[in-house]
Chains A and B, each alone.
Chain A
Amino acid sequence: MKFIHYLEKITGVSIFPLTSFVIFSLFFLVMLIWILKADKNRLKEISRLPLD
């Protein structure tokens, strides 16, 4: 039941933070690329949704 010291038993545990950092960076990269490439008219159309 005690919630401590489990991680020490996992081998190669250092890969977790590295993987997470890569996911984190990739996420922003992909988001930025998508935003820059997105179709302007479509965005315009969506942004008018509350008004119609």
Chain B
Amino acid sequence: MERFYYDNKIVKYFGYATMLWGVVGMLAGLYAAIQIYAPGTSMNFAPTTFGRVRPVHTNAVIFAFVGNCIFTGVYYSLQRLCKTRMYSDKLSWIHFWGWQLIIVAAAITLFLGYTTGKEYAELEWPIDIAITLIWVVFGINIFGTLIKRREKHIYVAIWFYIATWVTVAMLHIVNSFEIPVSFLKSYSWYAGVQDALVQWWYGHNAVAFFLTTPILGLMYYFLPKAANRPVYSYRLSIIHFWALIFIYIWAGPHHLLYTALPDWAQSLGTVFSVMLIAPSWGGMLNGLFTLRGAWDKVREDPVLKFFVVAVTCYGMSTFEGPMMSLKNVNAIAHFSDWVIAHVHIGGLGWNGFMAFGMLYYLVPRLWGTSLYSKKLATNHFWLGTIGIVVYAIPMYWSGFTQAQMWKTFTEEGQLKFQFLETVTHIIPMYITRSIGGALYLTGAIMMVYNLAKTIKKGSFIANEAAEAAPLVKEKSAVREYWHRVIERKPMTMLVVSLIVVAIGGILELVPTFLVKSNVPTISSVKPYTPLELQGRDIYIREGCYTCHSQMIRPFRDEVKRYGEYSKAGEFVYDHPFQWGSKRTGPDLARVGGKYPHSWHYNHMLDPQSMSPGSVMPAYPWLLDNKIDTASTPAKIRAMQKLGVPYPEGYDQEANKDLMQQASQIAAGLKLDKISTPKDAEIVALIAYLQRLGTDIKAEPKDQSAKN
């Protein structure tokens, strides 16, 4: 027998980070939720507007809160499942501090408006590189630990960790291809439809491989631990694992149903999404059945209470997800609050409650004591559960209501409701939702207090002693099954998982990139002018895409409300695409020419003056800030590298054209008695908004018939 020590200190630090970022991320979420019905709370200050707070919220809860929760659980369980200390303490600490620095850098840059404009991948290229490096450090540490393990078999939880590591690496790298323009500005390598496909391949699999598979790994470790009995069926867990990673990777296009994405890709996404029910529910049942004959414990133990609700929420959202990828259901769910309800069942229920349960389990054990107050933990459980319900029900309600209102016609065949009416109608739902979120956050703060008290009465066991026999190399006389070979060799496992996920990724992405007929070109679609390009970057900086879509689906009501439905060929110069995923405000795909320049000017200064009752925040700084014309040449060159056909040497002439167009817009505003410096940011933004969706109108009629 060998004697060795588990490293608990790293687990402690990741646990602290989980609690800290959890509270911070939820606070940002609550603030964003309040802004939706009280736009004045943005305080007319750029960093605190919804468009910037929302990415801070999503990034904080996904990568900071759940990220640190994953690392807490992995660093605790991996050592114990491998019967060894982590491979390198130094790597553990580089991982910890590196990740926290990335989080801080992310928060600062997002507040300052540095963003790539791609949901859940908003961070700019230097941070993307830092993430890659730290992720590699994490990987070396995992595989080093696996290599020096004292346990022959690799338990299923570790498979989930391996699949997580390799897939997140692949997703992050593929989706982050971007051309740097300056230190904190870049353009996505891909454009329009292709960018959308890569982004949602990434986006959906970030849900799959960051919010699901690692947490399932934690479930397979901590649930049996807390219930003190092995998992219901190990066979089922193997099927769960392989089926889940194989099928998940294909499901991304269900975020793009009815868009300009080629039809075959949409159908592919739907089919695989529906298939996903099987492994997901297999996993959920495996978790719940583990508690068979132990339900009396659930009544006593807050840890199990949290786990049971978490696994149930996993089952609910993985049933709901496939339903939402059916096209007829998606027609209602997409762009509405239904999606918000869906992700919060997953986020608050599955991720949040797994994290809480795990922390309640770990802290007393790491500090060699018992929980300070079981009653307080039970109260947290109920408060959190009620919080989820009070959050989700109003969002389902408002999602259905608004989608129905959007689609309602009068007998005369006119749209019955103005867009704004559909928003003001659901404001009570938004208020209720924020109450639900506040309850949930209160619960989380109660947990922090409870755990702080627990920590105070215990004494921390930094190095936990353990004993195990070293692993002897055995030679089997009989031929082994292939899976036993794989399951003992972490590297083989890594490669097999990579192949499995890469097949799905390649098949889904490659054809859209390479087959010409998938993106029919439209001859009248031209590159943006330099001024429009600068305006577009302001649009991206302010996070307009968090509330406005640029994608008109081929529905009667949308065509009536917004104009001709969007075509794939219209987005070929959009690096990045800005289709959006939620319509808190109306679609902007064809807003060009709809209003005079002065309307946009006044609307940005004071949205409520132009549309009374609007929930849009004001953007007064756009009227004062100057356009960063120094960046124009670099931006043009970057676009040329990406294949946008600006003439040779145009980078040097671009600013001349920019100023000319700006003068025209300033002169136009003058006619409406608005005087503005022609180099104000508002001028660029107006130029961009007035361009949106207008190219296609210049197209000769016979040509559109051919397309």
Neighbour of B242 across the interface among A2, A7, A16, A31, CB < 8 A: A31
Instruction: Please give, as numbers and ranges, the residues of chain A lying within 8 Å of B641 by CB-CB distance.
Output: 1
Instruction: Please give, as numbers and ranges, the residues of chain A lying within 8 Å of B234 by CB-CB distance.
Output: 43-44, 46-47
Q: With A23-B503, A44-B234 given, is the CB distance from A7 to B239 under 8 Å?
A: no
Indicate whether B231 reaches chain A with its CB closer than 8 angstroms: yes
Does A5 lie within 8 Å of B516, measured CB to CB? yes
Q: A24 to B511, alpha carbons, bound, how many Å?
A: 18
Chain A 1-52 interface residues, beta-carbon cutoff 8 Å to B: 1-8, 16-17, 20, 23-24, 27-28, 30-32, 34-35, 37-38, 43-51
Instruction: Please give, as numbers and ranges, the residues of chain A lying within 8 Å of B231 by CB-CB distance.
Output: 47
Interface-facing stretch out of B151-159, B336-344, B398-406: B151-159
Does B80 lie within 8 Å of A8, measured CB to CB? no
Q: A33 to B230, alpha carbons, bound, how many Å?
A: 24
Indicate whether B183 reaches chain A with its CB closer than 8 angstroms: no
Does A7 lie within 8 Å of B510, measured CB to CB? yes
Q: A20 to B242, alpha carbons, bound, how many Å?
A: 16
Does A46 lie within 8 Å of B514, measured CB to CB? no
Instruction: Please give, as numbers and ranges, the residues of chain B lying within 8 Å of A46 by CB-CB distance.
Output: 153, 155-156, 234
Indicate whether B483 reaches chain A with its CB closer than 8 angstroms: yes
Instruction: Please give, as numbers and ranges, the residues of chain B lying within 8 Å of A37 by CB-CB distance.
Output: 481
Q: A27 to B643, alpha carbons, bound, how many Å?
A: 39
Contact code string B214-247 (vs A, CB < 8 Å = 1, else 0): 0000001100110011110011011100110010
Indicate whether B190 reaches chain A with its CB closer than 8 angstroms: yes
Q: A37 to B483, alpha carbons, bound, how many Å?
A: 11
Q: A17 to B511, alpha carbons, bound, how many Å?
A: 10
Q: With A8-B514, A17-B507 given, is the CB distance from A3 to B81 under 8 Å?
A: no
Q: With A4-B513, A5-B514, A51-B230 given, is the CB distance from A20 to B224 under 8 Å?
A: no
| Minimal beta-carbon separation of B246 from chain A (angstroms) | 7
Neighbour of A7 across the interface among B80, B194, B230, B514, CB < 8 A: B514
Does B515 lie within 8 Å of A7, measured CB to CB? yes
| Minimal beta-carbon separation of B499 from chain A (angstroms) | 9
Instruction: Please give, as numbers and ranges, the residues of chain B lying within 8 Å of A32 by CB-CB distance.
Output: 239
Chain B 643-662 interface residues, beta-carbon cutoff 8 Å to A: 643
Does A6 lie within 8 Å of B514, measured CB to CB? yes
Q: A36 to B593, alpha carbons, bound, how many Å?
A: 65
Q: Main SS of the interface on chain A?
A: helix
Does A35 lie within 8 Å of B246, measured CB to CB? no
| Minimal beta-carbon separation of A16 from chain B (angstroms) | 8
Q: A16 to B511, alpha carbons, bound, how many Å?
A: 11
| Minimal beta-carbon separation of A48 from chain B (angstroms) | 5
Indicate whether B420 reaches chain A with its CB closer than 8 angstroms: no
Indicate whether B482 reaches chain A with its CB closer than 8 angstroms: yes
Indicate whether B165 reaches chain A with its CB closer than 8 angstroms: no
| Interface hub of A17, A23, A35, A37 (most chain B Cβ within 10 A) | A35
Does A35 lie within 8 Å of B503, measured CB to CB? no
Does B246 lie within 8 Å of A7, measured CB to CB? no
- Which B residue's beta carbon lies closest to that of A6? B514
Chain B 55-84 interface residues, beta-carbon cutoff 8 Å to A: 77, 80-81
Does B503 lie within 8 Å of A49, measured CB to CB? no
Indicate whether B500 reaches chain A with its CB closer than 8 angstroms: yes
Q: A27 to B234, alpha carbons, bound, how many Å?
A: 19
- Which A residue's beta carbon lies closest to that of B517? A8
Chain B 385-425 interface residues, beta-carbon cutoff 8 Å to A: none
Does B228 lie within 8 Å of A51, measured CB to CB? yes
Does B514 lie within 8 Å of A4, measured CB to CB? yes
Does B516 lie within 8 Å of A4, measured CB to CB? yes
Instruction: Please give, as numbers and ranges, the residues of chain A lying within 8 Å of B483 by CB-CB distance.
Output: 31, 34, 38
Instruction: Please give, as numbers and ranges, the residues of chain A lying within 8 Å of B238 by CB-CB distance.
Output: 31, 35
Query: 15 other contacts beyond A7-B511, A27-B500, A50-B157, with CB at 8 A cut-off?
Result: A1-B641, A2-B642, A3-B189, A5-B515, A7-B510, A7-B513, A34-B483, A35-B235, A43-B234, A49-B153, A50-B81, A50-B221, A51-B224, A51-B225, A51-B230
Chain B positions near chain A (C-beta within 8 angstroms): 77, 80-81, 151, 153, 155-157, 189-190, 194, 220-221, 224-225, 228-231, 234-235, 237-239, 242-243, 246, 481-483, 500, 503, 506-507, 510-511, 513-516, 519, 641-643
Chain A positions near chain B (C-beta within 8 angstroms): 1-8, 16-17, 20, 23-24, 27-28, 30-32, 34-35, 37-38, 43-51
Closest 9 CB pairs of A and B: A7-B514, A2-B643, A47-B234, A47-B230, A43-B234, A49-B155, A34-B483, A46-B153, A6-B514
